[in-house]
Structure 1
Amino acid sequence: MGSMRHDFTRASPYVIPVNWQAVLAFCAFCAIVLERIFLSFSALLFLSFGAVLIISALRSKSRMLLRYWPLLLLPTYCIVSTLWSDYPAQTLRHSVQLALTLIIAMAVAIKLRSETIMRGLYCALAFAVVISTLVELTSGRATSWQGIYESKNVFASIVAIFLLMGISLLYFRENRLAISTLFTLQIIFCLYALIRSASAGMIISIIPVVALFFVFRFNKYLGDAQRAFLMIFIFLASITTAIFASLYVEEILAGVLEYFGKDPTLTGRTDLWNFAIQLIAERPVFGLGYKAFWVVGNLDAEALWAAFYLPSGSGFNFHNTYLSNTVEIGLVGITLQVFIFYIGLIRGIRLSLVEPTHDNIFWCAFMALTIIRSFGEVSTFFEFSLDSLVYYIAFITVSERHRERRRTMKINRTPFSVLQR
């Protein structure tokens, strides 16, 4: 009977092979995306699933993991900042958690194929969007949508990433009619949900990223000369747009912010930015220490909480990634972050221009969105953050493909291939 059962199982068409690393990655994504459901267990679940992935990556992909050691300089520096932090216990705890988050991201990117990662992330985001929508439809709230999250901005961020995935899957992959229809409905709903969230910052940020999709879509039909002309046109159009925006920036921002019920004068944010600049001037090189400012008992932080009518210890930031992080980790730390930001985006754009596959386009679009948001929000480089997790994954994924492409070009660059040209 035992052998008969074995033969039946082996021959059965209903047996589906399971990629356990992919399942672990999906569970890790869910632990972060559905944090408001798992609550205090969210971090524990994420670290548990991630630990198995790290061990698996160390056993089979250790050399590849070591290849990206520069990405570990940032969390290492944050840990070192414990030495001069005014709140060393706070700094050490958050730094170690950041390091674990980023190492898990590296393990996911190294261990799994790009498309497999996208599937896991897609399913996790789909769960979050569906549950959040059901919450909004059953609650009957007349205010802006925020779903299962504490703020509308977090909900808008989840929806925006899901929107980018839908566009990349619809326009840069061959699909059956039914699947294309599904992705089209997904895009339409995400746009509706973004509007209902009334997140002005996210809506403003998503517009140029969506435009980037059309550039990549149109680019793959062009030859080298036409592609060069398109790049020159985009460059000149960007300069013209930037000049126009700089001349009428106040009118543009006032109109958009008033539509979403925001303060059109930006008084609150400019006060925060000025205060951050003053703090940076006091300790510009190394900063105050990672996560050593927004601490209960810190007089400066307490003053800002009081000025904005927020309870002590509530989540708050300087609404600018560069200023906020320079306050904590100084010019040294922000230099590392800028490197990760812009080297990743440059590689993503170059790769998307020559290989406009749906996953390359998505990783590039996500990095572009994150960087655009960085000027008005703080969404990356802190522990258990979806944006930090996905950005590291995107960086390694596009870097690996960029590296493979360069290696292939070197192999094909032979005297015979030169003669054939």
Structure 2
Amino acid sequence: ASFTMIGIITMATILVLPRDADSFARVIIFTAVVVNGLSYIGLVVFPHEALHTADSQEPEHAGLWRGVFTHKNIAGPVMACFSFAGLYLFRRGQRWWGAGIFCAAMVFMLHTGSKTTAGLVPFSIMIVVLPSLIGMRLGTPILFALAIVATAVGTLGIVFIAPVKHLAAIYFPDLTYTGRTTLWEFAGEMLAKKPWTGYGYESFWGTPLLLNQDQPFDRPWDIRTIVHGHDGYLDIAVLMGIPALCVAVYTFLI
């Protein structure tokens, strides 16, 4: 049923694609206003649903914003996308809408407590904007490629690339990205069991496959309560296999 729904939504999406840039901008404005509006209203009207609470599975997140989303680590990246959308609108001349959406999304994102997102969004904006400001537009793809490679080596590399892992152990022995390296290592071990097909759409994180596993006493994170792998590309590989990862890399980056 899930795959059928995905197919229906895909076909419907093709039929309702915006006809031009102005239509696309209107869709962005409508979507951003609705999602941001409901999220902010929820903070006031339904605070127990729009905020993480102390009586949840992760009491350490109490007080952090999540809005209409199920978790702060989902709300953070979505708000990051809205901040980019705001910049797009601003550069298209719709300055009030663009500035408003950008500011609303950034404020919400900062209150989600999503550290990775909060750190990467300003960096990503600078990669795109800086070359244009200094008259080097061709430098954007070069900076983008270098940033992607450096980020991959500096994050997943310290888990899966032996020389990088060795150097990290020598010079940065406490570098775990708040426990994410343990999570990535676990995801890599599980991927090795099903490298070509993965575990299926929505069939890994938060499912009985993980909920019924034992939690070692020395593991920094309890993987049974994790909603995603904190790395989109690794998530794609675990859910749909390495071939799907290759398609995603080509589609998103190339």
Code of the residue aligned with 1:285 in structure 2: it is: W
The aligned residue for residue 31 of structure 2 is 124
Code of the residue aligned with 2:190 in structure 1: it is: L
Q: Does 1:209 align with 2:117?
A: no
The aligned residue for residue 316 of structure 1 is 227
Code of the residue aligned with 1:100 in structure 2: it is: I
Distance 2:144 2:202 in 1: 41
Distance 2:39 2:99 in 1: 20
Q: Is the Cα contact below 8 Å between 1:125 and 1:158 reproduced in 2? A: no
Structure 2 gap segments, 5+ residues each:
52-61, 159-173
Q: CA deviation at 1:169?
A: 1.9
Q: Is the Cα contact below 8 Å between 1:94 and 1:291 reproduced in 2? A: no
Greater relative CO (CA pairs within 8 A, separation 6+): 1
Which consecutive aligned stretches of 4+ in structure 1 deviate over 6 angstroms post-superposition? Answer: 304-307
The aligned residue for residue 92 of structure 2 is 173
Distance 1:294 1:158 in 2: 19
Q: CA deviation at 1:339?
A: 2.4
Cα distance change of structure 1 residues 289 and 149 upon mapping to structure 2, 3 Å threshold: closer
Cα distance change of structure 1 residues 205 and 107 upon mapping to structure 2, 3 Å threshold: farther
Deviations along 1:23-49, one digit per CA (max 9) or x if unpaired, are xxxxxxxxxxxxxxxxxxxxxxxxxxx
Q: How does 1:18-417 map to 2 (within 5 A)?
A: 93-109=1-17, 112-137=19-44, 139=47, 143-170=63-90, 172-174=91-93, 180-181=95-96, 183-215=98-130, 217-218=132-133, 222=135, 227-228=137-138, 230=139, 235=143, 238=146, 242=150, 265-266=176-177, 268-294=179-205, 296-298=207-209, 300-303=210-213, 316-343=227-254
Distance 1:342 1:144 in 2: 32
Q: CA deviation at 1:206?
A: 1.0
Code of the residue aligned with 1:112 in structure 2: it is: R
Higher helix share: 1
Deviations along 1:37-86, one digit per CA (max 9) or x if unpaired, are xxxxxxxxxxxxxxxxxxxxxxxxxxxxxxxxxxxxxxxxxxxxxxxxxx
Code of the residue aligned with 1:144 in structure 2: it is: L
Distance 1:237 1:329 in 2: 25
Deviations along 1:172-224, one digit per CA (max 9) or x if unpaired, are 2335xxxx3554344334332222222112212212322144247537xx5xx
Code of the residue aligned with 2:191 in structure 1: it is: I
Secondary structure at 1:303 match in 2:
coil
Q: CA deviation at 1:129?
A: 1.0
Q: CA deviation at 1:101?
A: 3.0
Cα distance change of structure 1 residues 242 and 115 upon mapping to structure 2, 3 Å threshold: same
Cα distance change of structure 1 residues 334 and 301 upon mapping to structure 2, 3 Å threshold: farther
The aligned residue for residue 169 of structure 2 is none
Larger radius of gyration: 1
Structure 1 gap segments, 5+ residues each:
1-92, 251-262, 344-421
What is the TM-score of this pair, normalised by structure 1? 0.43
Distance 1:185 1:112 in 2: 25
Deviations along 1:143-179, one digit per CA (max 9) or x if unpaired, are 1222233222333334323322222222x2335xxxx
Secondary structure at 1:153 match in 2:
helix
Cα distance change of structure 1 residues 209 and 102 upon mapping to structure 2, 3 Å threshold: farther
What is the TM-score of this pair, normalised by structure 2? 0.66
Q: CA deviation at 1:126?
A: 0.6
Distance 1:136 1:266 in 2: 29
Secondary structure at 1:287 match in 2:
coil
Cα distance change of structure 1 residues 268 and 100 upon mapping to structure 2, 3 Å threshold: farther
- Identity of counterpart residues, as a percentage? 20
The aligned residue for residue 24 of structure 1 is none
Q: Is the Cα contact below 8 Å between 1:295 and 1:301 reproduced in 2? A: yes
Over the aligned positions, Cα root-mean-square deviation in angstroms equals: 4.0
Q: CA deviation at 1:116?
A: 0.9
Distance 2:232 2:30 in 1: 28
Code of the residue aligned with 2:213 in structure 1: it is: A
Aligned length: 219
Code of the residue aligned with 1:103 in structure 2: it is: M
Code of the residue aligned with 1:95 in structure 2: it is: F
Q: Is the Cα contact below 8 Å between 2:80 and 2:105 reproduced in 1? A: yes
